[in-house]
Structure 1
Amino acid sequence: MKKTIALILLLAITFSCNEDMDDNTTLSASVNFKFTHDWNDTLINSSNLETETVTNANGEVINMVRFRYLTSKFKLTNTAGDTYSFEGFKFTDLAEEESYNFTPDINGIPSGTYTLSFIWGFNEEDNIDGAYPILNSASWNWPEMLGGGYHFLQFDGMYNVDTPNPSPFNFHNGTARVTDGLFEQNFATIVLDTPIIITNEATIEVKMNIAELFTNPNTWDLNVLDTPLMPNYDAQKMMQENILSVFTIGEITQ
């Protein structure tokens, strides 16, 4: 079932061109996106997600159990300021390698130099409670009492695993509850300034360094902030700040 969900979600990404683009523009290139994940220099994928032992910036030794996240509204912007938008969302589960990458169904852009941006989670317009059956079936909903909509991240594991008394953590990110009945949007806009030169059929590697979630600008102390974090406003805003340094552009192949 998981694999089926992942494949359907990849197909859910649709492509649309900015309305300001000239209709006569030659769409001579195409793009594929390849997501890779690591903990600093250690590759993390489905084969070692639950077995790799890593250490965060605060010195806690960690074993990961689950890592799933949501991204949406991918955009490529060229040097002239023209934008090509990939509408929809991408749900990634590190336990399912089929969910790492996608090729948009409608796929054509002019050759040129681009930068990539996307939304971490959903923005306010898209983060509608119960609106996406595929995410509902993946148990991805964010509790209504915490603002509704959907998770942006589920990161679960154990920390202090090098001691006799390891403890669980649930690093879950979504809408931030200010007080009962008052909520704050908590998505982040990821802007990657590395130039991407596209001349033909290009594969763009997007690298995610999971360790950065615990590093920059907030060094995360799991002994203080482990669980529950979903109703913790300060923890949610710290996560939003840390996510900005997680993604980078990797290899471009074509």
Structure 2
Amino acid sequence: MKKIILFFLTLIFFSSCGDQVECCVYPEPVNVTLKFTQNWDGVPVTSSDFNDFKFTNLHGETISISDLRYLLSTITVGSKIKNYQLINIGENTGLQLNFEQIEQGTSILKFRFGFADADNKDGEYQDLNSVSFNVPGMLGGGYHYMQFDGKYKDTNNQDANFNYHTLRAVNRADPSKLIFQDTSFEVDLGTVEITNNATIEIKMNIAEWFKNPNTWNLNQLNTVLMPNFEAQKLMSANGKSVFSLGAITQ
């Protein structure tokens, strides 16, 4: 009788251990690639579309793009964070960002447009210095968030330049005492379900820079926007609707 009881106890023990081992096996981590794409109200935009008057903003100005590059920072997928990424559409660089060892399951996806003040340290990033992404010292230094340049048809249907450059807003009413406002902003794209190696598209709708919530009139605000404190705040507000989550392929 004792042998029978011992047999069943042994069987229960090994059965419990087996269940315990099985319950603690975690899926292998995977690799995730963020793919940054651009569009104009849903129509894809690449460098091949540059220098051609093929876009029209909400206010009615026809636009051609000559340069578009922007910086994202604190790019977060799950528990992994990349410091920053410079996306240059004209040169087709920075359009993808790879993350390794991402846990399978639900992952948060978010980033900041530009640098937060704590990271916006003048001269800190050599790779950005080398491509002239700096902000002049007279405007407080640090780095641009975006350089967006091109031409538009003015009220006389003549070609005119625009430089839609975003950076930390600076009030220069007293040049000896600059007043700053952090106009970077966080973009939270929610959570994504990752079960395999995945590519996640992050879309920028360029048209949104000109329309939401502020309808942009390029005949009034076109160049010399960097030192324009109020214009920088308007551009920051418009940027909050620019980015969205695109396709996820696994």
Scaled to the shorter chain, the TM-score interval is: 0.7 to 0.9
Deviations for 1:83-138, whole angstroms, at most 9, x for unmatched residues? Answer: x132321001101224211213xx11221123311010111111100111111110
- The answer as to 2:122 corresponding to 1:122 is no
Amino acid at match of 1:70: L
Deviations for 1:172-202, whole angstroms, at most 9, x for unmatched residues? Answer: 0001112332212121111113x42100101
Superposed counterparts of 1:39-118, under 5 Å:
39-51=40-52, 53-77=54-78, 84-104=79-99, 107-118=100-111
Gaps of 5+ in 1: 1-23, 78-83
Cα contact 1:148–1:175 (8 A) shared by 2: no
What SS class does the counterpart of residue 101 from structure 2 fall into? Answer: coil
> Which of structure 1's runs of 4+ aligned residues deviate more than 4 A?
24-27
Q: Distance in 1 between matches of 2:159 and 2:92?
A: 29
Q: Distance in 2 between matches of 1:208 and 1:55?
A: 16
- For 2:200, the equivalent position in structure 1 comes to 204
- For 1:150, the equivalent position in structure 2 comes to 143
- The answer as to 2:167 corresponding to 1:174 is yes
- For 1:230, the equivalent position in structure 2 comes to 226
Specify whether residues 168 and 197 from structure 1 end up closer, same or farther in structure 2 by C-alpha distance, changes over 3 A only.
Answer: same
What SS class does the counterpart of residue 60 from structure 2 fall into? Answer: coil
Q: Distance in 1 between matches of 2:112 and 2:214?
A: 21
> What RMSD over aligned residues (CA atoms) do the two structures have, in Å?
1.8
Moved more, 130-139 or 92-101: 92-101
Cα contact 2:155–2:219 (8 A) shared by 1: no
- Larger of the two Rg values belongs to structure: 2
Cα contact 1:190–1:244 (8 A) shared by 2: yes
Cα contact 1:147–1:177 (8 A) shared by 2: yes
- Normalised to the residue count of structure 1, the TM-score between the two structures is 0.82
Amino acid at match of 1:118: F
Identity %: 41
Deviations for 1:3-46, whole angstroms, at most 9, x for unmatched residues? Answer: xxxxxxxxxxxxxxxxxxxxx97552221111110111221112
- For 2:8, the equivalent position in structure 1 comes to none
Count of aligned pairs between the two proteins: 222
Amino acid at match of 2:42: D
- The answer as to 2:183 corresponding to 1:186 is yes
Gaps of 5+ in 2: 1-24
What SS class does the counterpart of residue 172 from structure 1 fall into? Answer: strand
Amino acid at match of 2:85: K
Cα contact 1:175–1:183 (8 A) shared by 2: yes
Deviations for 1:207-230, whole angstroms, at most 9, x for unmatched residues? Answer: 110000111111111111111100
Cα contact 2:80–2:102 (8 A) shared by 1: no
